[in-house]
Amino acid sequence: MPTPSYLYCVITVSILWTLWFIALGLERRWFRGVWRSWADMTPFTKVVMAVLCAYCTVIAQKPTNVNNSAASPHTGQPAGGAVAQQQQAQPASPSTPPPLPATQGGPSGVQSEPSRIVLQATLAADPRVAAAFSGEPGWSLPAAVPATPRLNALSFAGNATNPVSPVCFSNIAAVTVQTLMLVTRGDAADLATLVDAPETARLRLVSDGSRQTEPGAAELSLTRQFIPQQWQVVAVDFESPADLTEMFFGGTAGRPAWNRGWRGEIAEILGFNTPPDADVRAGVANYLSIRWGLAPHPASPEQRRAAIDAGLSYGLVWGSVLLLK
């Protein structure tokens, strides 16, 4: 007699539920003295806990194919009621996700994609990061300096005679980026260049806070966000996607005679293929603020989930908080 398919569902979910519970307990140190606590429970309490555990596991299952092939003895129709009849009425084709809205201004039938994280890098530890002018006279390598007790950032503090080389991603597949979110700290003097790209994103400020030249949209947005000498999360939105391999971080590719490289540190960079919505930005900012110990950037569980759905690799920053909320 073949094993009912719903039994496989129950076994699979029970195993996954057990593994999640063990991971949660280890994270929150629930298992200290757990066996002693279990031994102190009355037999009645143990039975109640076991029954509740089994009941919650079983009702959590939603098998859609239980007895769909079996005929009802009274009607001759497949068992399962309205659900089974609806399934019979649908054509036998693979399920597809609901279509996304079409891109405005694009060809008919072309659908836009949600914003995705195509770059996530801690500059001081990412092997894909290379100094743009390494080995050339007059340029020095950026130094790794502690940003937190466990994490380093790249420092671009230099001097006029030996400017620090900007860094780039030299060993990476072709990636286009339209929005950047960075963890950084620095001065606001002498047009310091944070990102040099086909559409440059510089801090158009001098030491007294006045503007030397008229900034573009990305530069103006960056300037308005920036707070000198404070670790912070800043975002840069380009008008059009740019090739990641053509971007320089912490300086300019123009090799100017004057030192206009970034005077500070860059810790982590995230790049998006298209500008993300407010929920994704809030979730990413929350992750960055927790990981690097910045000023709080509150985010709801839904905003954190939106960041994860966009491709955020959050490691142990959030742990199992999402599952509990």
For residue range 69-104, list pLDDT tens digits in order: 333 333 344 343 333 333 333 333 333 333 323 333
Q: Which residues have CB under 8 Å from 147's CB, separation 6+?
A: 153, 183, 231, 265, 267, 292
Q: Please count the residues of the chain.
A: 325
For residue range 205-227, list pLDDT tens digits in order: 554 555 556 677 888 888 888 88
Query: What CATH code is assigned to 117-276?
Result: 2.60.120
Give residue limits of the domains in the chain: 1-63, 117-276
pTM as predicted: 0.63
What phi, psi does 76 have (nearest 5°)? 75, 0
CA angle 236, 241, 245 (to 5 degrees): 90
Residue 113, pLDDT > 60, answer yes
